[in-house]
Chains A and B, each alone.
Chain A
């Protein structure tokens, strides 16, 4: 430190000049990086705009259709919807409605004066169509009405499965984490190791035996295999919550204990209020994971459309209607995305703190 200050004193003016230049450079670099990161973020999110765009667009796309929710301009004449094209007539481009499409000869009418028929010697396909920016919000209504068993049911199922599962994880993991953080019992280190092992344990090795277990007790085809295991704790959540408990000084517990509080009261009245944001973050993380879960509902609810959450339902819907009504699938996908996205954006800070904790701990 002293060497550095000594240097600084010696050539102060030169140092200031260098510092100014460095500041100027660092501002330039900062601006360049910000611009680049903004551009990259824009590119990175293109699939999500594309989803939104597709959900508001027409069912089919045409080659020269502009990017975005555009539909072809329509002129309705004698109860027929006619497409409007740019047609060269006597060296001038006119906007005319196609009434008789043909390969060698097409007949158009002028929307302002529909009785006059205008001949175009050529295929209408060579001409450019006129597009209007018109988001099709009715795609959302269509998606809502056309999902098997109704969207409302799917949405309710998803809310219930994710809500009950999250509740189960919170209750069981809070108890276990509190126990691991505050009680000294022989073999506690072994238990902590087991928790760590279970969350490092690849979930895939549980699938077959767990399925057999639930099949034997007759739970396949119900919500029980999706919800009941959550009431038995969740490795990552136990780990995260234990860290939160450890961050609270034991003096808080001791003070309450002196006042005659039992451990349950300490947990409920002292520790939980202190950890409110962190516990909510853990709840939101689990809610989003269960909301987006695809594997378990696929496995345990196969064929039970009335019990399925949105993830599986939209998959089934897109297998059935994806090729004919892609815009509806996109709208359904947007609706399914809104809830987890909103929850994440609302609780961004504690959410990110909670998920980065296991990574920083080691």
Chain B
């Protein structure tokens, strides 16, 4: 005869396990099905000549990768994407830290300013891209009216293959800056006040306080901002498409990003195998850069 208590504990553990499965395993299984499975199937798709309308999609090995290597538009998109990242990430990082430092220095209405700077971030991209187009319009845009007032020549901005990419990058930085500011403001607030007080009692200058106390302690936030910012810029899509909808990625592919190119190859040319190959390449680049950034940036924190 089994003693009652032991049976009871067994059933309690069992009940606990059932709840755990209900709360954890079932949703997790679905979660992985929807999020992780497609990520892996990307890899398999890239080895096929996949078109959704066909019954049979032949396995073609590395042909898709060979094709994109020889595709000038792909390289254009790749270079553009790296340019966006190289311009955008440092710009939003530096501006974000600067504005956050200034906001931390003021006593009143900090919350109000934080909300103001965050407003572009919650504005639908369709709306903000629409107003930026007219804002930077060559003929009647306010910026060019200002240029005329200052005696400067009018600039075409989005209409010029040379100025379009920096203009789009400026738009994205404007749109994302609020997030950076909020992030760094939270990072600055988390720095214990005693450190700053001790430093000022020791006669440290504002710059010294920033350089030797705030900046090192902000390192985790900087790492987060750079990693999130980089992956974001490497996948730039909605902003580019909305700025120039008639000629997505134009003029002359000067604003085309890899993400927009994947969209075009997959959903306008319906070459999904090839689009998957580009996806795999982009994923590899994002992975490499992220790992590299985490290694380099994290190292500075242990001193």
**A interface residues with partner B (beta carbon < 8 Å):** 4, 29-30, 33-34, 36-38, 40-41, 44-48, 50-51, 54, 61, 63, 67, 172, 175-176, 178-180, 183-185, 188, 191, 194-195, 197-198, 200-213, 215, 229, 231-233, 235, 262-264, 288, 291-292, 294-295, 298-299, 302, 310-312, 314-315, 318-319, 322, 326, 329-330, 333-334, 336-337, 340-341, 343-345, 348-349, 352-353, 355-356, 358-360, 362
Contact pick for B20, options A179, A312, A362, CB 8 Å: A179
What is the chain B residue whose CB lies nearest that of A263? B19
Decide yes or no: A209 and B38 within 8 Å by CB, A311-B126, A326-B134, A330-B131 being known contacts.
Answer: yes
Is B113 a contact of A41 with CB atoms below 8 Å? yes
User: When chains A and B are docked, how far (Å) is the Cα of A355 from the Cα of B25?
Assistant: 26
List, in ascending order, chain B residues with CB within 8 A of A291's CB: 124
Decide yes or no: A330 and B142 within 8 Å by CB, A172-B27, A212-B52 being known contacts.
Answer: no
User: When chains A and B are docked, how far (Å) is the Cα of A332 from the Cα of B279?
Assistant: 34
Contact pick for B124, options A200, A203, A310, CB 8 Å: A310
What is the chain A residue whose CB lies nearest that of B279? A205
Decide yes or no: A202 and B24 within 8 Å by CB, A212-B52, A359-B225 being known contacts.
Answer: no
User: When chains A and B are docked, how far (Å) is the Cα of A176 from the Cα of B24?
Assistant: 5
Decide yes or no: A314 and B34 within 8 Å by CB, A202-B231, A215-B52 being known contacts.
Answer: no
User: When chains A and B are docked, how far (Å) is the Cα of A45 from the Cα of B117?
Assistant: 8
List, in ascending order, chain A residues with CB within 8 A of B160's CB: none
List, in ascending order, chain A residues with CB within 8 A of B41's CB: 209, 212-213
Is B127 a contact of A202 with CB atoms below 8 Å? no
What is the chain A residue whose CB lies nearest that of B105? A33
User: When chains A and B are docked, how far (Å) is the Cα of A292 from the Cα of B28?
Assistant: 27
Is A360 a contact of B45 with CB atoms below 8 Å? no
B12 to chain A, nearest CB (A): 11
What is the chain B residue whose CB lies nearest that of A313? B126
Is B45 a contact of A212 with CB atoms below 8 Å? yes
Decide yes or no: A232 and B187 within 8 Å by CB, A48-B120, A205-B283 being known contacts.
Answer: no
A63 to chain B, nearest CB (A): 8
Name the residue in A37, A233, A298, A355 with the highest tally of chain B Cβ atoms < 10 Å from its Cβ.
A37
Contact pick for A202, options B99, B102, B187, B235, CB 8 Å: B235
What is the chain B residue whose CB lies nearest that of A348? B115
Task: Map CB proximity to A onto B105-140 as digits: 1 under 8 Å, 0 otherwise.
Answer: 111110101111111101111111011101100001
What is the chain A residue whose CB lies nearest that of B104? A33
User: When chains A and B are docked, how far (Å) is the Cα of A183 from the Cα of B35?
Assistant: 23
User: When chains A and B are docked, how far (Å) is the Cα of A118 from the Cα of B183?
Assistant: 65
User: When chains A and B are docked, how far (Å) is the Cα of A291 from the Cα of B140?
Assistant: 31
Decide yes or no: A294 and B27 within 8 Å by CB, A204-B262, A208-B279, A209-B39 being known contacts.
Answer: no
Is B182 a contact of A355 with CB atoms below 8 Å? yes
Contact pick for A360, options B109, B190, B234, CB 8 Å: B190
List, in ascending order, chain B residues with CB within 8 A of A232's CB: 27, 30-31, 33-35
Decide yes or no: A210 and B27 within 8 Å by CB, A205-B282, A336-B127 being known contacts.
Answer: no
Interchain Cβ contacts under 8 Å between A and B, 28 examples:
A33-B102, A34-B108, A37-B113, A44-B174, A47-B128, A48-B128, A67-B145, A176-B23, A179-B28, A198-B32, A204-B235, A207-B279, A208-B262, A211-B266, A213-B38, A229-B34, A232-B31, A262-B19, A295-B238, A302-B267, A310-B124, A319-B245, A341-B119, A344-B122, A348-B111, A349-B111, A352-B118, A355-B183
**Does B154 lie at the interface of the complex (its beta carbon under 8 Å from any beta carbon of A)?**
no
Stretch among B3-11, B69-77, B84-92, B216-224 lining the A interface: B216-224
A263 to chain B, nearest CB (A): 5
Is B279 a contact of A204 with CB atoms below 8 Å? yes
B271 to chain A, nearest CB (A): 10
B43 to chain A, nearest CB (A): 9
- The 3 A-B residue pairs whose C-beta atoms are closest, nearest first, are A179-B23, A179-B24, A333-B127
Secondary structure at the B interface, as helix, strand, loop or mixed, is helix
Decide yes or no: A336 and B28 within 8 Å by CB, A201-B39, A202-B286, A215-B52 being known contacts.
Answer: no
Is B122 a contact of A292 with CB atoms below 8 Å? yes
Q: Which B residues between 210 and 247 are near A, CB-CB below 8 angstroms? A: 220-221, 223-225, 228, 231, 234-235, 237-238, 241-242, 245-246
User: When chains A and B are docked, how far (Å) is the Cα of A2 from the Cα of B224?
Assistant: 38
Name the residue in B37, B119, B140, B266 with the highest tally of chain A Cβ atoms < 10 Å from its Cβ.
B119
List, in ascending order, chain B residues with CB within 8 A of A47's CB: 120, 128, 131-132, 135, 174
Is A183 a contact of B23 with CB atoms below 8 Å? yes
**Does B16 lie at the interface of the complex (its beta carbon under 8 Å from any beta carbon of A)?**
yes
List, in ascending order, chain B residues with CB within 8 A of A314's CB: 124, 126-127, 130
Is A44 a contact of B116 with CB atoms below 8 Å? yes
**Does B253 lie at the interface of the complex (its beta carbon under 8 Å from any beta carbon of A)?**
no
List, in ascending order, chain B residues with CB within 8 A of A205's CB: 38-39, 42, 279-280, 282-283
B228 to chain A, nearest CB (A): 8
Is A337 a contact of B127 with CB atoms below 8 Å? yes
User: When chains A and B are docked, how far (Å) is the Cα of A326 from the Cα of B137?
Assistant: 13
List, in ascending order, chain A residues with CB within 8 A of B142's CB: 46, 50, 67
User: When chains A and B are docked, how far (Å) is the Cα of A64 from the Cα of B106?
Assistant: 40
List, in ascending order, chain B residues with CB within 8 A of A262's CB: 19
List, in ascending order, chain B residues with CB within 8 A of A229's CB: 34-35
**Does B259 lie at the interface of the complex (its beta carbon under 8 Å from any beta carbon of A)?**
yes
List, in ascending order, chain A residues with CB within 8 A of B107's CB: 30
Is A341 a contact of B122 with CB atoms below 8 Å? yes
List, in ascending order, chain B residues with CB within 8 A of A176's CB: 23-24, 27-28, 31
User: When chains A and B are docked, how far (Å) is the Cα of A256 from the Cα of B290?
Assistant: 44
User: When chains A and B are docked, how far (Å) is the Cα of A346 from the Cα of B33?
Assistant: 36
**Does B103 lie at the interface of the complex (its beta carbon under 8 Å from any beta carbon of A)?**
yes
User: When chains A and B are docked, how far (Å) is the Cα of A311 from the Cα of B225?
Assistant: 27
Is B186 a contact of A360 with CB atoms below 8 Å? yes
Is B266 a contact of A360 with CB atoms below 8 Å? no
Is A345 a contact of B115 with CB atoms below 8 Å? yes
Is A61 a contact of B35 with CB atoms below 8 Å? no
Is A294 a contact of B119 with CB atoms below 8 Å? no
Is B132 a contact of A194 with CB atoms below 8 Å? no
